[in-house]
Amino acid sequence: MRLVILDRDGVINEDSDDFIKSPDEFVPLPGSLNAIARLKQAGFTVAVATNQSGLARGLFDQNTLEAMHRKLQDLLAERSAHIDGIFHCPHGPDQGCDCRKPKPGLLKQISARFSLPLAGVPVIGDSLRDLEAARAVGARPMLVRSGKGQRTLARGEGLEGVPVFDDLAAAVESLLKETADVGQDQKKPE
């Protein structure tokens, strides 16, 4: 089983400094749903790891978050695709949990759920905390410029060795090409 872990806001859907608080505000980024569909068609397990402190802040409730995720799954179903697991941290930044990225708790939950080690697993995000969480579990951080990605790049910290892509579609294209290249290398006679 091949696993890819995606951040949500800024990678799959539009992000907002005022939070995404309703299904109406959950607007997929151009190409992101097709990119997820391509991953599924190529046999990947796709998980989402997302900080959702809007829950702790009282900006929306669990039912609203689930409605946003139903919308995402419904839109993917139109493309014969789905996300295999959506993992979220409901805590605020000062609650001291181990699941709020950059801490690795969400990624560890994903590892346990799918019984997979995370060494080398691509983690695609738009912020430094996504990259740091990936590194903490030996996964492979990848940055997109969408969402907060441009701000992350402008800060310039913690980016050593991290490939940067315009958006999720470009990151997925690279992963699929890499997978195809590995497959070709394995077929070559010695």
Which residues, listed in sequence order, are joined to residue 86 by a DSSP beta bridge?
Answer: 48
pLDDT by residue (tens digit) across 114-165? 999 999 999 999 999 999 999 999 999 999 999 999 999 999 999 999 999 9
Domain count, the chain: 1
Instruction: Find the CATH number of the domain harbouring 174.
Output: 3.40.50.1000
| Residue 145 CA, distance from chain mean position | 13
pTM of the model: 0.94
Domain that holds residue 12: 2-187
- Is there a catalytic annotation at residue 18? no
The band of 181, judged by pLDDT with boundaries at 50, 70 and 90, is confident
DSSP letters along the chain, please? -EEEEE-SBTTTB---TT---SGGG--BPTTHHHHHHHHHHTTEEEEEEEE-TTTTTTSS-HHHHHHHHHHHHHHHHTTT---SEEEEE---TTS--SSSTTSSHHHHHHHHHHT---TT-EEEESSHHHHHHHHHTT-EEEEESTTTHHHHHHH--S-TT--EESSHHHHHHHHHHHHHHHHHHHHS--
- What's the rounded mean pLDDT across residues 6-15? 98
Q: Which of 9, 15, 130, 167 is catalytic?
A: 9
For the chain, give the mean pLDDT.
95
Catalytic residue check, 24: no
42-59 confidence digits (pLDDT tens): 999 999 999 999 999 999
Catalytic residue among 7, 126, 130, 167: 7
pLDDT of residue 180: 84
At residue 187, does pLDDT exceed 80?
A: no
